[in-house]
């Protein structure tokens, strides 16, 4: 990458304490238990780019998203956005100014909008919170403008969220994200609660807005087809680590990591009628007691002793001993 990264995530980690309560531990003799939800994740996002994290449930992708926007403090590591560290204590004043430029869109538009507020109040909330516009008349005009931008009518501002369909609510959520002139939007499964025809509307809207406003997206999704459609670069997560990172075309044309190959093979696709697929064995292991070494080793057909003992580093966009050692050819179709 030649230009400076807009978002830099360095060695991000998050550990959750999932121990039983103190009294139970004392009486039943249990140990403290920790869950490493995110275990050393690093990536960069250039300005105006869409970077996507894909993975199955439990892979830690939503935890990364929440740490990037600052909803969850990381246990370790750093998030730098536009040169300002979001995690160190030193830059707090600068960080405050940066906050308004970062917004998030959540998965469930039924839960992310206050049901007792009218839509214009919901959309105006970031404007009021950051004191971007003081005069009520101007706020009203800005809200109308935002609603038109996302394909709603300015008069819709007088309605309540329950009067809208799922897709329209997600439009309201997008309007709210844009209200503070956000540049960087973290979208956590923005369309997985929506029907396909509505999903297409929202994905098209997100792309149009990116073209018009130069937005940078971090897209979290489990849907590979959506990710392929939207993202220029993709990171594949498995049990809290990025196993492969690559640009979109490359990842789908020549997947490297055995997990990525397996995942691509498993996705049902409308273009594959009647195709016999290779079913994958096993499931994601329990993250409280992950396998040693490469966490994918129990499911991996190429695993050897080293894979069971040593965590593979992310080199050349892929974290896999078999590829680094040349045991597994990069271009061979799995």
Partner 1 sequence: MAQPVLSVRDLRVEFVTRRGILKAIDGISFDIAKGEVLGVVGESGAGKSVTGSAVIGLIDPPGRIAGGEVLLSGMRIDNLPPEEMRRVRGKRIGMIFQDPLTSLNPLYRVSEQLVETIRTHTNLSASAARKRAIDLLAEVGIPAPERRIDSYPHEFSGGMRQRVVIALALCAEPELIIADEPTTALDVSVQAQIISLLKRLGREHGTAIMLVTHDMGVIAETADRVAVMYAGRIAEIGPVRDVVQNPLHPYAKGLMGAIPSLESDTDRLVQIPGSMPRLSAIPPGCPFNPRCPYVFDRCRVERPEPIQHSEHRVACHLYDESSARSEAVA
Q: Which residues of the shown chain bind partner 1 in the complex (CB under 8 A)?
A: 56-57, 165, 167-168, 195-201, 203-204, 207, 222, 224-226, 228-229, 252, 262-275, 277, 279-281, 283-284
Nearest distance in Å: CB 243, partner 1:
13
Residue 321 CA from chain centroid, whole number: 26
Nearest distance in Å: CB 215, partner 1:
17
Is the Cβ of residue 99 or residue 261 nearer to partner 1 in the bound state? 261
Is the Cβ of residue 80 or residue 202 nearer to partner 1 in the bound state? 202
* Tokens matching residue 114: 């206050």
Is the Cβ of residue 79 or residue 150 nearer to partner 1 in the bound state? 150
- What H or E segment, with its residue span, contains residue 36? strand 34-46
Please count the CA atoms within 13 angstroms of the CA of 69 that sit on its side-chain side. 25
Region for residue 30 given its phi and psi (left: phi exceeds 0; alpha: psi -120 to 50; beta: otherwise):
beta
DSSP-derived pairing of the beta strands 184-188 and 102-105 = parallel
Is the Cβ of residue 86 or residue 303 nearer to partner 1 in the bound state? 303
Nearest distance in Å: CB 108, partner 1:
14
Is the Cβ of residue 132 or residue 200 nearer to partner 1 in the bound state? 200
Q: Percentages helix, strand, coil for the chain, rounded to the nearest 5?
A: 35, 20, 40
Nearest distance in Å: CB 259, partner 1:
9
Residues 6+ apart with CB under 8 A from 218: 7, 45, 51, 52, 53, 65, 68, 184, 185, 186, 187
Contact (CB, 8 A) for 106 and 45: no
Nearest distance in Å: CB 287, partner 1:
12
Is the Cβ of residue 230 or residue 320 nearer to partner 1 in the bound state? 230
Nearest distance in Å: CB 166, partner 1:
8
Hey, is 167 helix, strand or coil?
Answer: helix
CA pair distance 179, 181, nearest whole angstrom: 5
Residues 6+ apart with CB under 8 A from 307: 293, 294, 297, 300, 321, 322
Residues 6+ apart with CB under 8 A from 125: 176, 179
Q: Is 212 exposed, middle or buried (0-12, 13-18, 19+ CB in 10 A)?
A: exposed
Is the Cβ of residue 139 or residue 234 nearer to partner 1 in the bound state? 234
Nearest distance in Å: CB 226, partner 1:
6
Nearest distance in Å: CB 207, partner 1:
7
Is the Cβ of residue 228 or residue 308 nearer to partner 1 in the bound state? 228
């Amino acid at each position: 990458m030649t230009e400076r990264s807009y978002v830099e995530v360095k060695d991000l980690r998050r550990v959750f304490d999932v121990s039983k309560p103190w009294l139970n531990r004392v009486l039943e003799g249990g140990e403290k238990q920790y869950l490493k939800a995110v275990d050393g994740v690093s990536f960069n996002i250039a300005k105006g780019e869409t970077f996507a994290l894909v993975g199955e449930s439990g892979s830690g992708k939503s935890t990364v998203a929440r740490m990037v926007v600052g909803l969850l403090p990381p246990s370790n590591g750093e998030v730098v956005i536009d040169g300002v560290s979001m995690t160190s204590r030193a830059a707090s004043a600068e960080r405050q100014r940066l906050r308004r430029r970062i917004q998030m869109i959540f998965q469930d538009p039924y839960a992310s909008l206050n049901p007792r507020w009218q839509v214009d109040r919901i959309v105006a909330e970031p404007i009021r919170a950051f004191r971007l516009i003081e005069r009520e008349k101007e706020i009203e005009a800005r809200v109308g403008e935002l609603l038109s931008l996302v394909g709603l009518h300015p008069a819709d501002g007088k309605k309540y969220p329950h009067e809208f369909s799922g897709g329209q609510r997600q439009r309201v959520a997008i309007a709210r994200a844009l209200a503070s002139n956000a540049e960087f939007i973290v979208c956590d499964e923005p369309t997985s609660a929506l029907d396909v025809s509505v999903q297409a509307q929202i994905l098209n809207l997100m792309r149009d807005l990116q073209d018009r406003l130069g937005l940078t997206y971090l897209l979290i999704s489990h849907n590979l087809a959506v990710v392929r459609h939207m993202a220029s670069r993709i990171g594949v997560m498995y049990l809290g680590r990025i196993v492969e990172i690559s640009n979109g075309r490359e990842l789908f044309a020549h997947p490297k990591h055995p997990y990525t190959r397996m995942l691509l093979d498993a996705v049902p696709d409308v273009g594959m009628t009647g195709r016999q697929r290779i079913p994958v064995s096993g499931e994601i292991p329990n993250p409280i007691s992950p396998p040693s070494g490469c966490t994918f080793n129990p499911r991996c057909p190429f695993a050897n002793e080293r894979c069971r003992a040593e965590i593979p580093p992310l080199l050349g966009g892929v974290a896999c001993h078999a590829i680094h050692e040349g045991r597994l050819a990069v271009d061979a179709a799995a």
